Structure 1
Amino acid sequence: MKNLSVIGNSKYRQTANYTKNAFIMVANNWECQSLERTESVLLVGSSVAVDETLSKKSHSGPSKFYSHHQDCMEMYAPIEKVAEYLNSHSSWFAHCAEPMTVQPLGDNGYGLVIGRFGAFGYEVEPKIGLELLDPQEGKYRIRTIPIQNYQAPGYHVDYNACMELVESLPEMTRVEWELDLMVELHFPSFIKRLPNSLIQSTGDRLLNQIVRQVSCRLTRKVQEDFHQSLGIPFLVNSKKKRH
């Protein structure tokens, strides 16, 4: 889900649209059931009155947003087959990550452009560098790495994920994963004048939505690709719970 953002050349509208009890948040909606990007408008409620919304002094320093997720993929094959597939990620990662743009970074790294997201009239086009470390004791870790000749302007991302292979049945393997993500953003002054609690809750909520939607899509496509490579019919369980 690192460097999960690009602000540098991003254009943003300095028009924070808000009403007395609600703020409009615009973001790309990565629906799990569709491969097309569609822009959706999310309504974030607030009990802050309009004349109390803007502070006389802007908040200093960057804003930090956090996300923690855990879930699993069910693979209908022995653990050895699943491990072999994950180890050959160069053959499937790029097309399974679509419509995200992917560029190889060395043998085990990838640079990803996630899409465009925004809140309060400020838009971000996330870009992230990830390294898939070699497995140790059945655990696969993914961490943030820098992208050569690219300086992320106005933000910093710390991405740490871990996948573990667990044999559930003789012919089924669970890929259990856990993600801890932190995004640090340097907002322009017109956003910093908004209540800090509103900025924090909106940012955390948007970040969690992005992670859920991207992981949902990536999980489905990896499952489909894996089972197709083995000639095994597979139907994704769309009602599986997530955290």
Structure 2
Amino acid sequence: MLLLSRSDPDNLLHGSDPQVRCYRSGFSDQMEMLAPTTQVVTYLNGHQSWFERCAKPMQVAALDHQSYALTLGRFGNFGFEVEPTIALRLLPEDKQLYRIETVRTVPQSLVLRDHYDVDFQASMQLIDQDSTTSVNWDLDLSVWIRLPKVITMLPEQLVQSSGDHLLRQIVRQISRRLTWKVQEDFHASHGLHCPPRRRAAF
């Protein structure tokens, strides 16, 4: 199993290894919560009680009271498969804004610093709408990966476009599923009817 980590940013980000490629993707979505913002804040602040449940079927391991390691599932391209794990920290709410960022230091068991690096930056902005709350979700994700030599022998444009496509698949699948499940879990835990799912914007 190969893992994603960001414990040694200089190793891949600023090197000149011709086997290293950088792939980037973004994601935007919106959730409607049929409750006052204060109630949504209370729920989101207690992520220890819902994050692991909402992240399923991903495997989740708590690193501390704010951080989690997520194993995303198996993905591959050109016969090269990985089962990435990302370590994330959920930062405290600041004026109805939540941020999620890559954990800079993770246990050695999560580190394969010579193969992957990841920069995960996400935010959730809560907006008051009378008795309901709108949650705007944005994600910027960059991944640096050292590819096998046999793949880097392929045309550069093919390698880049295929990697970008795979990353978009991962971001779309993981982000949409997580936002939907958080929305559904919030309403179910408060005995509220859940609004229909919205179409995500990219």
Where do residues 76-115 of structure 1 align in structure 2 (5 Å cutoff)?
76-115=34-73
Determine the structure 1 residue equivalent to 2:171: 211
Determine the structure 1 residue equivalent to 2:90: 132
Determine the structure 1 residue equivalent to 2:143: 183
Q: One-letter code of the match for 1:166?
A: I
Native 8 Å contact 2:30 2:200 kept in 1 = no
Q: One-letter code of the match for 1:155?
A: Y
2:122 to 145, 155, 161: 161
For each residue in 1:152-187, what CA deviation from the matched residue of structure 2 results, as whole angstroms up to 9, or x when unmatched?
Answer: 25010010111110112x221111111111000000
Alignment TM-score, normalising by the size of structure 1: 0.73
For each residue in 1:16-62, what CA deviation from the matched residue of structure 2 results, as whole angstroms up to 9, or x when unmatched?
Answer: xxxxxxxxxxxxxxxxxxxxxxxxxxxxxxxxxxxxxxxxxxx8141
Tell me the distance in 1 between the aligned counterparts of 2:184 and 2:61: 22
**Paired positions, count:** 186
1:66 to 15, 24, 27: 24
Unaligned runs of 5+ in 2: 5-16
* Larger helix percent: 2
Q: One-letter code of the match for 2:187?
A: H
- Stretches (4+) displaced over 4 A: none
Q: One-letter code of the match for 2:21?
A: S
Determine the structure 1 residue equivalent to 2:193: 233
Where do residues 194-209 of structure 1 align in structure 2 (5 Å cutoff)?
194-209=154-169
Tell me the distance in 2 between the aligned counterparts of 1:72 and 1:90: 22
Determine the structure 2 residue equivalent to 1:242: 201
Q: One-letter code of the match for 1:157?
A: V
Tell me the distance in 2 between the aligned counterparts of 1:115 and 1:232: 31
**Cα RMSD, aligned residues only:** 1.5
Alignment TM-score, normalising by the size of structure 2: 0.87
2:3 to 6, 9, 14: 6
Unaligned runs of 5+ in 1: 8-58
Deviation of 1:228 after TM superposition, in Å, equals 1.0
SS at match of 1:219: helix
Deviation of 1:116 after TM superposition, in Å, equals 0.5
Deviation of 1:235 after TM superposition, in Å, equals 4.1
For each residue in 1:45-104, what CA deviation from the matched residue of structure 2 results, as whole angstroms up to 9, or x when unmatched?
Answer: xxxxxxxxxxxxxx8141000011111111110000011110000000001100000000
- Indicate the percent of aligned positions where both proteins have the same amino acid: 45
SS at match of 1:96: helix
Tell me the distance in 2 between the aligned counterparts of 1:123 and 1:241: 27
Deviation of 1:148 after TM superposition, in Å, equals 0.9
Native 8 Å contact 1:155 1:186 kept in 2 = yes
Native 8 Å contact 1:67 1:208 kept in 2 = yes
